[in-house]
């Protein structure tokens, strides 16, 4: 592993100054990654990190690893998983949102072959809002019991906020447009091995 311990978190400016020496792993969905990522970041979605453990471990032996997501929550989970395997990694505090807010550029691939998908937070907001409206409409037009859909969703959102987890995000992440193509994941793993 690295000779100096990697800090558990780096701010956007700290990460920017060290970007040339870091192996950056973006654990967001492929669509989120395509919408803008740190220059040089490799896309290994959170649910694929276990598959990439040997390659991430070898990268950590050669230098520091920075794990990135949209806000820092998923990357913190990935860092926990890596730490359990003895692989030191840091998370980007505030994620790509903080990176962009600090005025740093995000790499956006040309639209030609890239899939453009809404970010996970936007997908969750859209789905939650649609389900609330559907529950209210069905409750008014069909039967009042349909309003339980809206109530259940509200409870889920409160639980999500209290636990800093997102069950709906996990479900939406399994949809085909949010899944990595095998070739894309293999390409990212090959690039990781080559670093």
pLDDT band at 4 (very low <50, low <70, confident <90, very high): very low
Residue from 59, 62, 121 nearest 95 by CA? 121
DSSP reduced 3-state for 35: coil
**Residue 69 falls in the annotated catalytic set:** yes
CA angle 3, 68, 27 (to 5 degrees): 110
Provide mean pLDDT across the span 139-163.
93
**Domain match, 87 and 155 both:** no
pLDDT band at 2 (very low <50, low <70, confident <90, very high): very low
**Domain match, 101 and 189 both:** yes
**Domain match, 35 and 127 both:** no
**Domain match, 66 and 93 both:** yes
- Alpha helices by DSSP H, listed for 85-179, are 95-101, 120-141, 147-163, 167-172
Note the pLDDT tens digit of each residue in 55-72: 999 999 888 999 999 888
Q: Which of 69, 81, 82, 87 is catalytic?
A: 69
Note the pLDDT tens digit of each residue in 156-186: 999 988 887 788 888 887 887 777 677 778 8
Q: CA-to-CA distance for 45 and 39, rounded, in angstroms?
A: 17
**Domain match, 157 and 70 both:** no
Select the more confidently predicted residue: 190 or 110.
190
**Domain match, 80 and 154 both:** no
Name residue, tokens 């990439």. Answer: 52
DSSP string of 63-101? S-EEEE-SSSHHHHHHHHHHHHTT---EEETTHHHHHHH
139: containing domain: 120-164
Q: Does some domain include residue 169?
A: no
**Domain match, 156 and 188 both:** no
How far, in Å, are 66, 89, 95, 189 from residue 92 at the CA level? 7, 10, 5, 21
Q: Does some domain include residue 57?
A: yes
How far, in Å, are 131, 135, 191 from residue 35 at the CA level? 25, 31, 20
Number of domains forming the structure of the chain: 2
Select the more confidently predicted residue: 109 or 29.
29
- Choice among 43-47, 95-99, 115-119, 152-156 with the minimum mean pLDDT: 115-119
């Amino acid at each position: 592993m690295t000779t100096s311990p990697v800090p558990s978190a780096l701010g956007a400016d700290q990460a920017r100054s060290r970007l040339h020496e870091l192996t950056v792993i973006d654990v967001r969905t492929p669509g989120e990654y395509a919408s803008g990522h740190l220059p040089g970041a490799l896309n290994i979605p959170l649910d694929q990190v276990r598959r990439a453990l040997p390659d991430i471990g070898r990268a950590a032996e050669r230098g520091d690893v920075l794990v990135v997501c949209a806000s820092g929550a998923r990357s913190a989970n990935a860092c926990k998983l890596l730490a359990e395997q003895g692989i030191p990694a840091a998370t980007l505090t505030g994620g790509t949102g903080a990176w962009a807010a600090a005025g740093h550029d995000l790499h956006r691939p040309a639209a030609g072959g890239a899939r453009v998908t809404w970010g996970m937070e936007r997908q969750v907001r859209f789905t939650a809002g649609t389900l609330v409206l559907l529950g209210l409409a069905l409750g008014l037009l069909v039967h009042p019991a349909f309003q339980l859909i809206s109530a259940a969703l509200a409870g889920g959102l409160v639980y999500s906020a209290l636990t800093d987890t997102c069950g709906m995000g996990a479900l939406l992440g399994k949809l085909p447009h949010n899944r990595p193509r095998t070739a894309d994941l293999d390409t990212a793993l090959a690039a990781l091995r080559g670093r």
